[in-house]
Amino acid sequence: MSVEATIPVDEVTLMEDRARVIRRGVVELPAGRTRLVIEGVSPVLSDKTLAARSSSAKIDDASVARRRLHLPEERREAHRELLAREEALTEALEGHRERLARVEESLGLLATAADRTVEEIAVDAAWSRADVDAWKRRLATVDELEARLREERLQARRDARDVERERDRVRTRRQETERTSDELVATITVAVEVDEAGAHPIEIEYVVPNACWRPQHRATLEDGRLRFESEGCVWQNTGEDWDDVQLRFSTQRPSLGAEPPRLATDRLAVRRKADRIVVEQRQQVVEQTGLGRAIASAPPELPGIDDGGEVQELVAAHRTRVVSDGRPHRAPLFAFEADAHESLTCAPELAAAVLRKTEQVNAAARPVLAGPVELVRGGGVVGRTSTLFVAPDERFELGWGPDPALRVHRETEETEEESKMLSSWFRSTRKIVDKLSNLGPEPKVVELVERVPVSEIEKLEIEVDVEATGRAADGDGFVRWTLELAPFGRERAELRYVVSRHSDVSGTF
């Protein structure tokens, strides 16, 4: 015996490129064997992931069947009526267009008549046959005819436009009646056997594609306090709506799988050492734990979700509804508040601006996943930034855009290489000058950061001129100044370093 059952979607676990759907419900079953039929499921579900469970009933089999819906043939009469209406509107549209063409032709003839009237008036004036009243009447007649024809042309255009719009609407409706088949539906059938009639819990689980999620965040800054809200943004176009479901967000990557690497032959051979060393400059991201201060170019954006190497599972704060429309739907995950320390920083090599940033601690019990951050300040959205993975109790930074009152100008200078007599070493000096201006009435404190290249070979040496610069570089090649800008004041910082290379070394550095 077959029984139609309603088992709604109760829980959905979103992953990077798929979703695990769990349907739960209590079904009244008669004693014996029964086949449950569940309509309205996703037609793209993976058959091999379909599973059914029950704590009080025996389930023998679970399968899915798909079929296409065909539109009824009773629409032929409506199609004929719409087709006749479309033909009548097309004929009316042609009539309005012919009327418009006649008016355009009349306006052309009137323009020719007006030109000849003016020519005749000029000839009469040349022969001293002035009749001003007749001239006025003739020109008034031309003006009156022109005004009437222009009004008629405008009305003809309006009529043609209205008829064309109505015809397009009728044509769209007529095309809908010609549609035959394009909708795919699926049905799950579960074979259940119980000893006693009554209500029995049924759980159905399957995996569907066309669903994904990504973390998104919102940061609100007010009076030195930062409120950070983390959300999960869901997209799904699976063919089934998820009404009043509990969403879970997982960073698992089941599509990656795991397989051992392929072994290849590694041949060792003796090679002669090269006479010259060719070097080249490259960008290197400084990796640090905790609050990083890398000024080098940022790492490439991850194709998926960065979970810090440990699988995370986040639960939505409340049940929600996600329809199958492919549009983003947000679900709140968690939020925290923390004290925010504001400061100004400038890296002129990357951007000729002084950026405002805040440092705060992740006060939540869960990590903040890498993703975009919407910035809110002063009651409105001021921009967008992004954050990397932030562990609980870890300090992290957020950029809030440039300070409009500060200006930055950067100048670079490099001397030609020179070598001492009987020496195989060449030296060149490079100088960088940063000038900062404060256009506002308030004092500003700015952290200025520059960098120098770091050599990895002995035959290439790069040293900061501490006497001219006033400070040395750290182990990663960064040089920092703390500049205090008075109201409407200016400050400058100079970085000078010497590049020494052996004659065996060539390339760009």
> What global pTM score does this model have?
0.68
Are 220 and 362 in a shared domain?
Answer: yes
Are 351 and 242 in a shared domain?
Answer: yes
Is 70 exceeded by the pLDDT of residue 286?
A: no
Are 204 and 220 in a shared domain?
Answer: no
Q: What is the pLDDT of residues 207-256, one digit of tens each?
A: 999 999 999 999 999 988 999 999 999 999 999 999 999 999 999 877 65
Residues 12-20 have a mean pLDDT of: 93
502 touches 424 (CB < 8 A): yes
- Distant-in-sequence, close-in-space partners of 278: CB < 8 Å, separation ≥ 6: 505, 506, 507
What pLDDT is attached to residue 164?
92
Is 70 exceeded by the pLDDT of residue 303?
A: no
Are 239 and 295 in a shared domain?
Answer: yes
Q: Percentage of the chain with pLDDT > 90? A: 49
pLDDT band at residue 71 using 50, 70 and 90 as cut-offs: low
Q: What is the pLDDT of residues 358-404, one digit of tens each?
A: 999 999 999 999 999 999 998 889 899 999 999 999 999 999 999 99
- More confident call, 80 vs 454: 454
Is 80 exceeded by the pLDDT of residue 297?
A: no
Are 228 and 308 in a shared domain?
Answer: yes
Is 53 inside any structural domain?
A: yes
What pLDDT is attached to residue 142?
83
Mean pLDDT for the chain?
87
Domain holding 429, by residue range, is: 406-507
Are 186 and 125 in a shared domain?
Answer: no
Is 273 inside any structural domain?
A: no
Q: Which helix (H) or strand (E) holds 114?
A: helix 76-126
Residues 293-303 have a mean pLDDT of: 43
Are 461 and 411 in a shared domain?
Answer: yes
Q: Any idea which of 69-83, 207-221, 442-456, 485-499 has the lowest mean pLDDT? A: 69-83
Instruction: Please tell me the total count of domains within the chain.
Output: 4
Is 331 inside any structural domain?
A: yes
Is 32 inside any structural domain?
A: yes
Domain termination residue (choose one: 368, 402, 436)? 402
Residues 173-192 have a mean pLDDT of: 79
CA-to-CA distance for 50 and 38, rounded, in angstroms?
Answer: 13
Are 365 and 501 in a shared domain?
Answer: no
What pLDDT is attached to residue 298?
43
Is 262 inside any structural domain?
A: no
pLDDT band at residue 290 using 50, 70 and 90 as cut-offs: low
Is 269 inside any structural domain?
A: no
Is 230 inside any structural domain?
A: yes
Are 320 and 423 in a shared domain?
Answer: no
What pLDDT is attached to residue 296?
40
Quote the strand ranges of 71-210, DSSP E: 181-194, 198-208
- Distant-in-sequence, close-in-space partners of 219: CB < 8 Å, separation ≥ 6: 226, 227, 228, 229, 373, 374, 375, 376, 398
Q: What is the pLDDT of residues 19-68, one digit of tens each?
A: 999 999 998 888 888 899 998 899 999 999 999 999 888 988 889 998 87
Domain termination residue (choose one: 176, 198, 222)? 176
Q: What is the pLDDT of residues 87-101, one digit of tens each?
A: 999 999 999 999 999
Domain termination residue (choose one: 341, 368, 402)? 402
Q: Percentage of the chain with pLDDT > 70? A: 92
pLDDT band at residue 337 using 50, 70 and 90 as cut-offs: very high
| Cα distances (Å, whole numbers) of residue 306 to 215, 315, 400, 424 | 10, 17, 23, 49
Q: Give the pair of three-digit tokens for residue 156.
A: 């003809």
Q: Give the pair of three-digit tokens for residue 112.
A: 């020719």
What pLDDT is attached to residue 129?
75
Are 198 and 121 in a shared domain?
Answer: no
Is 80 exceeded by the pLDDT of residue 447?
A: yes
Residues 135-140 have a mean pLDDT of: 82
What pLDDT is attached to residue 133?
79
What pLDDT is attached to residue 79?
76
What pLDDT is attached to residue 299?
44
What pLDDT is attached to residue 438?
95
CA-to-CA distance for 360 and 357, rounded, in angstroms?
Answer: 10
Residues 149-170 have a mean pLDDT of: 91
Are 340 and 385 in a shared domain?
Answer: yes
Is 430 inside any structural domain?
A: yes
Are 500 and 456 in a shared domain?
Answer: yes
